[in-house]
Amino acid sequence: MNSPALAPRTAAALNGKVRVLIVDDSVVIRHLLREALGSDPGIEVVGAEANGVAALAQIPVLKPDLVTLDIEMPQMDGLETLRRIRKDFPRLRTLMFSTLTTRGAAATFEALSLGADDYVAKAANGGELDKSLANLRAELLPKIRQFFALPGQAQAKPEPSRTPAQRPGPRLRPQVLAIGVSTGGPNALATLIPMLPASFPLPVVVVQHMPPTFTRLLAERLDAAGPLAVREAEDQMEVAPGRVIIARGDHHLRLRKAERRVVCVLDQGPPENSCRPAADVLFRSAAEVYSGGVLSLVLTGMGYDGRKGVEAVKAAGGYSIVQDRATSVVWGMPSAVAEAGLADRVLPLPEIAPELVRLAQG
């Protein structure tokens, strides 16, 4: 599931507002989206279409910065529309709307592989409109804002120079690789994980911000893509070399010693950083179990989940790598670690796997 283009697209909102085109065959969803987006003064809905054919005709006229795109539509579905957008309007941001089903998850992964920037999981039909509207505002507005510089919005500081970030290697031989990732994560992981050889000596544990059905499908896809076995986390699953464990959606993943083994412990404790699973939870538990033997990696993602966890990793004597701005879809999570002075290396995505192999081999 490799991304068509490694470097993220950039876009600048015109006149201080993000111009959004809504594409969905449901009249109710189009209305809800108008209401949700209209509540943000930094966003302007410039049009709403019922299918991909009409949307493609309107894009040159309306000149949107971003398109919200339903997957299942008549005449031309969301995936085919996305293919046309990536070909004819390659700089246009796209957000997919997906159902929380296996079929919806599979289509979403296909969309991400075709170049969609992110997705929003929509509730099943029949829910309360007020609740659906509130959920849309809470999930959709931050996802749109993450791609644009808007007035009154805090901006990430410039990326630190790579020279001072190139610190000496870990003091101790790493014993585990812990990864935190969010927006852009499926494609980043699809690039990174298959590059790790079958002989990679560390267990790998991953927090990707996704719902339950999506994390299972992500594990299955990564398992088929490379030499390492990739599994969705189960309670008491052993953490062992040769295995990549993906945190289960809506469950925190903690590591715990059990006699001579290290196992996964799943729970549905309160979200941290509005996330469950949260990278902070995983990183803290890894530092408790492995002390200075943790190799932490923070990849592309919105927000700052992972920063406090990396603090714990560093305090225990571990080592930290973050993905650089140029190859991140959103330089939020990595920048939070880098700006706090916690990153030992800041690397482009293609250089991370070789560095992990080098560090893992001591």
- Helix ranges (H only) for the chain are 27-38, 52-62, 78-88, 102-114, 129-145, 162-165, 185-192, 212-225, 279-290, 307-315, 333-339, 349-360
Per the annotation, the verdict on 3 as an active-site residue is no
Mean pLDDT of 347-355: 97
Residue 344, number of CB atoms within 10 A of its CB: 21
One-letter amino acid at 315 equals A
Answer yes or no: is pLDDT of 161 > 60.
Answer: no
At 348, list the tokens: 């482009």
Q: Do the beta carbons of residue 66 and residue 94 sit within 8 Å?
A: yes
Among candidate residues 3, 98, 182, 320, the one labeled active-site is 182
Per the annotation, the verdict on 251 as an active-site residue is no
What is the per-residue pLDDT for 162?
Answer: 44
b/e map 12-33, b = 16+ CB within 10 Å: ebeeebbbbbbbbbbeebbebb
Answer yes or no: is pLDDT of 122 > 80.
Answer: no
Answer yes or no: is pLDDT of 11 > 50.
Answer: no
Q: What is the pTM of this model?
A: 0.90
Among candidate residues 65, 117, 118, 209, the one labeled active-site is 209
Among candidate residues 24, 305, 324, 344, the one labeled active-site is 305
Mean pLDDT of 266-273: 96
Answer yes or no: is pLDDT of 106 > 90.
Answer: yes
What percentage of the chain has pLDDT greater than the value 70? 89
Per the annotation, the verdict on 209 as an active-site residue is yes
Distance CA 185, CA 200 (A): 21
Distance CA 316, CA 178 (A): 14
What is the per-residue pLDDT for 171?
Answer: 77
Q: Beta strands 93-99 and 66-70: pairing type?
A: parallel
Q: How confident is the model at residue 133 (pLDDT cuts 50, 70, 90)?
A: confident
Chain segment 28-57, per-residue pLDDT in tens = 889 989 999 988 999 999 999 999 999 999
What is the per-residue pLDDT for 7?
Answer: 42
Long-range CB contacts for residues 210-214, cutoff 8 Å, separation at least 24: 210/185, 210/249, 211/100, 211/105, 211/121, 211/249, 211/250, 212/248, 212/249, 212/250, 212/251, 213/100, 213/101, 213/102, 213/104, 213/105, 213/249, 214/105, 214/108, 214/109, 214/121, 214/249
Please give the helix or strand (H or E) that residue 18 lies within, else none: strand 18-23
Residue 141, number of CB atoms within 10 A of its CB: 16
Mean pLDDT of 182-195: 97
What is the per-residue pLDDT for 127?
Answer: 56
Q: Domains, the chain, ranges and CATH?
A: 18-145 (3.40.50.2300), 162-360 (3.40.50.180)
What is the per-residue pLDDT for 130?
Answer: 72
